[in-house]
Amino acid sequence: MVRQHVNPLSRLHQSVEPLPPPAELFADPALPLHLDIGSARGRFLLAMAPLRPGRNHLGLEIRRPLVEAAEADRQREGLTNLRFLYGNANVNLPAWLALLPPGQLELVTLQFPDPWFKARHHKRRVLQPALLLAIASALAPGRELFLQSDVEGLITPMRQLVEASGAFEPAGPGECGPQVNPLPVATERERHVLAQGGPVHRSLYRRTRAPLPPLADLEARLEADGGGADNRQDVAPA
């Protein structure tokens, strides 16, 4: 399975129109919301939506052809608690999340994002400090953020960022870990990696009541940490 990279910093993806509010997306816009950032072809959410009918599910994807294909499948299956939208997470989501009713956002998933290995390309990675703060601001205490990747060099800085914010606490190893996926559906990438015998690194975090740091302070903390984070959830129990 080959990754199809898209540069989110290109001019094309910087001038994306604002996302419509939940009232324009779902049959029952008051339902709790699951936001999947980087929904790709949409098969994960197409399976999740029928399993979790008490939630609305929104997939945001930067590759427009994949959004169009996923939306066609959604319409064909008549799923009114699911939508797929084209957008750039770091451009579109902060303002959109700020307008959500308090407590509506229940779960945010970010699974197998593009790793952008070269140091000069790290700014193209999805989970940037400003986006993390926007997600944390929209999540009520106890609500969840789930990260997943097959690239240890990507999951480590994502964990570092989340933990540097001071706004989340990790779930225990019985809830999430190398052998434990807290979600009932595996993504296509996850199935492919496991079939090849590769590792899948997972972290489940819950929002605490801690106040959020200013963006400049969070960036300074990350700079001071020097880009390292522990991998305690990558160690399977003996």
Q: Which of 28, 73, 114, 230 is catalytic?
A: 114
152, 199 Cβ separation under 8 angstroms: yes
Q: How far is the C-alpha of 201 from the C-alpha of 233, rounded, in Å?
A: 8
Q: Kindly report the number of other CB atoms within 10 A of residue 9's CB atom.
A: 13
Q: Which phi and psi (to 5°) does residue 97 adopt? A: -65, -35
In this structure, the strands spanning 201-207 and 168-170 are antiparallel
In this structure, the strands spanning 168-170 and 105-111 are unpaired
Nearest to 60 by CA among 1, 110, 11: 110
Q: How far is the C-alpha of 127 from the C-alpha of 211, rounded, in Å?
A: 19
Q: Which phi and psi (to 5°) does residue 4 adopt? A: -105, 95
Q: Which residues does residue 202 pair with via DSSP β-bridges, in sequence order?
A: 148
- Catalytic residue list contains 230: no
Catalytic residues: 114
